[in-house]
Structure formats: C-alpha cells, structure tokens
Structure 1
Amino acid sequence: MSFSKTLAWALLLVALLEAFRQAHAVSYDDLIGGIPDSEDEPQLIGWQGEKHRAQEDGLHSLHSPNDTSGEPWIQVISWKPRAAIYHNFLSDREAKHIVNVAKSYMQRSQVVSKEGISEIRTSYGTFIRRNFDPVIAAVEERVSLWSQLPVSHQEDLQVLRYGPTNKYGAHLDGEERVATVLIYLVEPDEGGETAFVNSQWMHKELGQQVAASGLSKCAQGHVTVKPKRGDALIFYDLKPDFKTLDPNGRHTGCPVIKGVKWNAVKWIHGKPYDPESYETAKASYAPPRPDPGDCGDYHKQCKKWADGGECKKNPGYMQGGSGQLGTCRLACGACEVCEKGDEECTSRNRQRGGFLDLTPEQLAAELKGL
C-alpha cells in the first residue's frame, strides 16, 4: 500500500474516533457527573518498554493509593502468560457508575436443594449488555483500543462481587476466548488477588516488590495482581496462534480475607460474538429494567403460560435465576405484590429471587467513599 493511501486510512481512523467521542460526550457527561477539564486529565503515555521501572522513577507502583488524577500507564508484568496492567484505566466516577448499574441485579450463584436455594456463601454477579449506556459504551471502546479487537468481539460486561471467603478456583477461561480484561472496581482490605498458578514474572524485581507488599497464601509464589480500584488487567487465554489454549493463563481469584471485592470482566473472542444481539444493541441504549424487588409480569402471555405449567417447565425464564430476572414472577407466585414504600416487602422479593439485598448504607460502606 502506498504512503498516501496509508496516511488516508490513518486520518480516517482518527476522524472516526473523534466522531465517536463527540457523539457520546454530552450524555456521558450527564451520567458520570462531569469530567475533569482536559488540562487536568493526563494523556496516556503508552507502553513502558522492556525495562523494569521502580516506584522512584516517578511512576505509580503496582499498589499505589488510588488517585483518579494519577497518570494512566501500561505495564507488562509477564510473558508467561502474556499479561499487562493498565493503571488508572477507569476514573472513580466510571467505577461507581458500573456498580450503580449492576447493584440491583447482582444475583447469587444458586445451589439448589429440596428446601430451595442453599445458604452456602457464594459470589454475586450480573451481566450488563453491550452499548448499555454512554458510559458502558465508552469503557467498551477503551477495551477495544487497548486489546486491538473490535467491540463486536466482546461478550457482555460481567460484574462480580466477592465477600469474605468467596473465591474463584484455578481455571482457564477458554470457550474460544482470545483475551480477558479484568477491571477492578472496589478493592478488598485483604486477599482477593488474581494469581496465575503456572507463571513467570517478566522481571524478578517486580515479583520481589509485589511479594514485599504482602500477599495472601493463595497468591504467594505466582505472578499476582493485587486489586486496585480503577486498574485493569489484560491477559491472553490463547497462544499467539489464536488456536491453542495457553496453560500459563490458568488463574485463580484468591479468597477475599477481609472486606469486599467488586470487579468487572470483559471476555474477548477472535471473531464477532453473538453478532445478532450486538446489532440489536448498537441500535440504541438499553431501556429501563424492572427492579427485582418489584413483583410483576412482563409479558402479556404470562398467565396463559403459568396455567400451562411453564413455571415448572421453564423456571429460569418464568421465575428467574441463573442470571435471569424472571418474566412472569407474579403469575408463578414467585414474589409478593408490595405496597409503595414497603421496603421490607421488596427486600423479601429480592432475597427470594437470590438477588443481593443491601441497604444504601451497607452499599456505601462497601464502596469506601466511591
């Protein structure tokens, strides 16, 4: 390709990115509560190269106190697996927005017994569809620019909350996923590290620095990332051939020892993921969703389906569970109609559906001033 054609394509890409920014600027601003002036928002300085850079170089260490005015920078931490941290990937306002979007729909991973949902402690999670609103769309675009893979290749954003003892055992993400981006929203007081169980630090000095900061037993001896609000971790699930699973990508979410951890996950594929739903999502932002504390039917056929036995035949869709709200909870008798302002009633509905049920005060305490 000639230089003139290459330059033309580059200018077109810049124009498209600027058009995207302008298209979302006003509505993003409204949702996020204002953004700093450009002179106060440092520019991304890019990859830091192959040399280990200690804290005294003037850059943030891995575990510096959270500061949204901190300079964004990218740090490669390992080639086994291929992994890098994007420091200050999110602002506090963006992190809070993601939690606020997800908080009402966080649902317990259900362990079902004859008595109903088990009280065994588990994590809570939910999915936020692509192009949900201008803030989520902007984060997805940022993930795309960092990973060099289109938003159409991303799965929906999964938001997870881990309390004390909650963990995610060692595993490979797989499922034709090329890469994983893990975004830390709220950091726990202790534990909750992301540890790669078969890994090697890019620089031994970095491993020594992280070890000296204090790690839980689960994380010791591995390439490990301690959660820090606003940071993001990218690692590749496949080898560079994009075909073979990389065993070095096997990782675990260490148990939270003290406090609570909130994070968000973007899984990225090597080809468009669920293209039909993405085309639908691109057409408009998501409509308002019913609150799980409310009791209602959200399809005109609910009573007919319930009378036909669908509540038992298709419980996930009808009553909820396994990430679903439940389309016909009222017709199935899976909730109770509450009087306006009856918070105890709505709380019972949330608990019955396996949804996270926190008071505003409890949530504020978890968010640590976010």
Structure 2
Amino acid sequence: MHAVSLPTSTVRRRIELVSWKPRALLLHGFLAHSECDHMISLAEARLEPSKVVSRDGSGKLDSVRTRQGLSSSGTFLTKRQDSVVAGVEDRIELATHLPFSHSEQLQVLKYELGQKYSAHYDVHGSNEQAQLAIRRGEQGGSRYATMLMYLSDVEEGGETSFPHGRWIDEGAQAQPPYSECGSRGVAVKPRKGDAILFYSLKSDGQSKDFFSLHAGCPVAKGVKYSATAWIHVEPYSNTGPLHPGFCRDNNAKCPEWAALGECERNVVFMRGNGTYRGHCRLSCKVCQPCAANDEECLQSNLRPAERGALRQGAAGGMAAAK
C-alpha cells in the first residue's frame, strides 16, 4: 500500500462506532485544521447556490436545501486539485477500503444561519432501480458510502441527523445539548476536523439501508462548512462516460495537453505512476479501451493493487456489489 499522509492535529485521532442502524462511524481528528482551512479557501471564491441531483443526472435547485428560498452555497473541488486535496482523497480511500476511482469530486458546502438540508437519502430510487442501473453499467451505479467531513465548528445546531437511526449506547451517546432537529434518532455534532462515515446500502452492496435517511440540521448560531465524498459501487467519472477498464481521460482538455507534449513533461499528472492514476491515460496512450467482456484487457489496465477488485469495494470486510 502506498504512503498516505496523516493529519497533524492536537485532536486525538480515534474512531467511534456511532450506530449499526445505519452503519455509521465517527472519525475524530480525521482532518488537520490546516487542511480544513485550505479546502475552505479553495472553495470560497467559487461558492454558488447548492443543487441536488435530478432524475436525468443533472443538478437543480431544490427547496430541500433552502431556508425561505435562500439556498446553502457549494462547489466541487477538482479531483487531485493539489497536494492537500490529493492527501485527503488518499486518506478517504485508506479509511473506507473503497477505491478512489469509485469516488465523486469532493463537494464543499457552506451553511449560514437557518440553512439546512432536509431529510434525504444519498441513494435515489428503489432497490430495483438501483440494481438495474448497476446491471446496465450506468455512471458509478449506486452511492455506497458517504464520508462527510466537518471543516468548521458550529456554535449551535448544524448536526448531521439520522431520524430513524438507533444509537449503539443511547445512555452514553444521546447526550444534550442537541437542537430540536438533532434530538430525534441519532445525531452527530459538527466539530472541525471530524468526519462521519456512513453507508447508504446494506453490506450486500445492493439493498438500500432505510436507516440511512439523514438531514443537515439548521444552523442556529455560527457558520457550518463541510466537505462530502460520495463513493459508488462502480467506477465513477466526473467528466462523462467511463471507458471500460479505467482507460479514460478525466479532463476534456487531455487531447490538447497531450498534443502539446504534457504526457512527457508532466508525467505523474498526465500518465500516473504506481500509486496514482493519471488524469489523461487515454490521450497519453498509457492504456487502451477494452470490450466490456474482455477480462484480460480490463485487468491489464488496472494498477496491481486494483486487480481482482474491479467491481467490489469493502469496508471492514464488507463487500460492495459485483
């Protein structure tokens, strides 16, 4: 396994098992405060009203994220945008045991006074629809796990609430003060550097976990910043359809960059190396697209650590869908 940077923090890093319904773990001190500040600074100039995913896969404004018509603000960070973002992405891969190639871009959100995200699922549609999407090879299949990282403290409110959730130890964990929203079911208070990891699918990687219904409670005092990583059961691209076998470009400008000689001048970014998959593997001719049923070709395009895990991810020994 390649080296992964760990945060330098005065907060003692530990993992707290919050709930089995849904499966949720709180990673205390997952991020260093400097990493939180850096991601906020990257996002701040690009924040715009937050959107939700519509049925056609595009984004749309939705009252689920609003307060009196005023939406929270958000933006996406480019994958491997800089060394700090790449370090966080690597740490998420290490903590979840799910491949980075299955992740969406990190989304940074800002919630101000009264703003919230009403109760919702990260998996859309029924179990049957989710499984059909997987069989059709649609973009990433279902979202399997969510890593929600808190980039700031919040003075009051702003909890992540699971209204149907069940505490592992209600007597020890369900301690006040929670807001009215956070007092129902299971809730996690936002603390700078902490992260909550929870699963939208059951351990079979196919069935929706109905306990994973969750909400971002209204901010009662202060400002809340967060960064979210959604991880799918299948490889996911943020720039369009995936080429079979991971042989793809992750930026529309890859052919232009390759023509300018960047494959040779910027080798790691463009072509990748033993631990990092490059952005422009297709244009740099590092690999070749494969027929969907050509298993030998598919396997040849993977890094050694990924071979044999093309269609499965595991967290603590729990396999995702094949």
Q: TM exceeds 0.5? A: yes
Q: Give the corresponding residue for 2:254.
A: none
Query: What percent of counterpart residues are identical?
Result: 39
Letter in 2 for 1:103: E
Retained in 1: the 8 A contact 2:161–2:184? no
TM-score, structure 1 as length reference: 0.55
| d(CA) in 2 for partners of 1:230, 1:137 | 16
The 2-side partners of 1:182 and 1:87 are apart by 12
| Alignment pair present for 1:161 and 2:114 | no
Q: CA RMSD in A?
A: 2.5
2:224 corresponds to 1:261:
yes
Which of 14, 24, 30 is equivalent to 1:89?
A: 30
User: Structure 1 segments of 4 or more deviating over 3 A?
Assistant: 109-112, 275-279
The DSSP-based 3-state class of the residue aligned with 2:36 is helix
Matched position secondary structure for 2:38: helix
- Alignment length, in residue pairs? 218
Spell out, residue by residue over 1:30-61, the C-alpha distance to the aligned partner (whole angstroms, 9 max, x if none).
xxxxx99xxxx5xxxxxxxxxxxxxxxxxxxx
CA–CA distance in structure 1, aligned partners of residues 184 and 215 of structure 2: 13
Shift of 1:250: 0.2
- Flag structure 1 segments of 5+ consecutive residues without an equivalent: 1-12, 22-34, 42-67, 113-118, 286-370
Counterpart in 1 of 2:316? none
Q: CA deviation at 1:255?
A: 0.5
Give 3-state SS (helix, strand or coil) of 1:105's partner: coil
Which whole-Å CA distance do the structure 1 matches of 2:86 and 2:71 have between them? 29
**Mapped contact 2:161–2:182 kept (Cα < 8 A):** yes
Q: Secondary structure at the match of 1:136?
A: helix
Partner of 2:215: 252
Q: Which has the larger radius of gyration?
A: 1
Going from structure 1 to structure 2, the CA distance change for 1:109 and 1:140 (only over 3 Å counts) comes to closer
1:102 matches 2:43: yes
What are the within-5 Å matches in structure 2 for residues 162-201 of structure 1?
Answer: 162-175=111-124, 176-201=142-167
Q: 2:96 matched to 1:133?
A: no
Q: Give the 5 Å matches for 1:1-370.
A: 13=1, 17-18=2-3, 68-109=9-50, 120-175=69-124, 176-208=142-174, 211-212=175-176, 214-274=177-237, 275=242, 279-280=249-250, 284=269
TM-score scaled by length of structure 2? 0.63
Residue of structure 2 in register with 1:60 after alignment: none
DSSP-derived class of the 1:70 partner: coil
Q: Which has the higher helix share?
A: 1
C-alpha separation between the residues in 2 aligned to 1:232 and 1:104?
A: 24
Give the strand-richer structure, 1 or 2.
Answer: 2
* Distance in 1 between residues matched to 2:111 and 2:99, nearest whole Å: 29
Q: Which runs of 5+ in 2 are unaligned?
A: 52-59, 62-67, 125-141, 252-266, 271-322
Alpha-carbon distance, 1:165 to partner: 1.0
Structure 1 residue 71 displacement after superposition: 1.9
